Amino acid sequence: MAAPSRPTTDEQTPVLEIEELHVTFRSRRRDVRAVRGVSLKVQRGEVLGIVGESGCGKSTTALAVTRLLPTTAEIVATRIRVAGVDLTSPSVRDLTKIRGAKVGMIFQDPTSSLNPSMTIGDQIAEPLRLHAGLGRAEAARAAAELLGRVGIADAQQRVGDYPHQLSGGQRQRVMIAIAVACTPDLILADEATTALDVTVQAEILDLLRGLQRDTGTALVFVSHDLGVVGDFADRVAVMYAGQIVELRDVRDLLSRPRHPYTAALLECAPRIGTARRLPTPILGGPPDLGRPVVGCAFRARCARVVERCATDDPGPELERIGAACWNPVSSVSQGSAS
């Protein structure tokens, strides 16, 4: 089998740059500020995990990059750049160039992402014909090879199968084959293993990790499960109520969390939490993003709350200490964000 080719971006340019991203879902009844000032960079070959509980804006952030949000979503950003292409105000041409070619996407539910009336071989071959300019026969050969590389046995025979003939895990492998077909610079995986049972989940994670390492593709791995993310991300962004509240190297974040919300998430994850045997649920819920948030969005649930938490947004502290918090959990040496 030919060695996988490597993506095209040069070493220094971040593969993904997001600066001050805001996404608001507008409706006649109310506006929901789902993403409130997210900034992040992902370097070539890096795995960034994004974690946080349901509704905190993980998917909206990921989908805003490739503009796969409904028309009710208003996206405002100082900068969105993927592999050197400016997507802050993208043209249809830029988006076509980016989706599938420079960014591969894997979602939670492969059933709704795959076309039920098209063979899996044709679905894998499609981006190769569209973006890599391969002819029909060449793309079909490459599709069979990709199917084998993502671990489908008897790939040559299976290319003619339709999605309903595959198990959930196999369908997710097909999604991965489609996502990596054109050797993208970036893979966005949103809850890619959440719907699968534990054994299959582990196999798919291994596959993703292997492909990511072989190709040097950057990976943004979105999950509500800090245990899964902690296993293979290089850095982790913890989101809460539409903001990143902690963004640090994975080992530092897991061993010495700074934001009280990260610490609480770790307590809820028995596999990686420290001494506790029983997970402790985080009491209360996030604020209503249909209303303005004043001060820290976590304060109603926070045991470390201090006076200014009620009035001042701790967001700017993220860049300074790696956590958006006025009273962080672990002691922080001045100016250290790692």
Binding mask 221-260 for ligand SF4 (x = CB under 6 A): --------------------------------------xx
Contact 260, 302 (CB under 8 A): yes
How far apart, in whole angstroms, are the C-alpha atoms of residue 50 and residue 238? Answer: 6
Given a contact cutoff of 8 angstroms between Cβ atoms, the answer to whether 4 and 63 are in contact is: no
54 binds ligand ATP (CB under 6 A): yes
From Mg ion, ligand SF4, ligand ATP, none, interface partner of 168 (C-beta below 5 to 8 A by class): none
The answer to the question of residue 152 lying near ligand ATP (CB under 6 A) is no
Which of positions 258-297 make contact with ligand SF4 (CB under 6 A)? 259-260, 296
Closer to ligand SF4 by Cβ: residue 169 or 328: 328
Interacting residues with ligand SF4 between 73 and 102 (CB under 6 A)? none
221 binds ligand ATP (CB under 6 A): no
* 59 contributes a contact to Mg ion by CB under 5 A: yes
Q: How far apart are CA 200 and CA 231, in angstroms?
A: 16
Find which of ligand ATP, ligand SF4, Mg ion, none residue 67 binds, CB within 5 to 8 Å per kind. Answer: none
Check: CB of residue 153 under 8 Å from CB of residue 103. Answer: no
Q: In what order do the strands lie in the sheet with 235-240?
A: 103-106, 186-190, 218-222, 47-51, 235-240, 243-249
Instruction: List the beta bridge partners of residue 17.
Output: 41, 81
Whichever of 69 and 282 has its CB closer to ligand SF4, that residue is 282
Contacted by 314, from ligand ATP, Mg ion, ligand SF4, none: CB < 5 to 8 Å by type: ligand SF4
Q: In whole angstroms, how close is the CB of 185 to ligand SF4 at the nearest point?
A: 35
Q: Which residues bind ligand ATP (CB under 6 A)?
A: 25, 32, 34, 52, 54-60, 70, 72, 224, 289
Q: Which residues bind Mg ion (CB under 5 A)?
A: 59
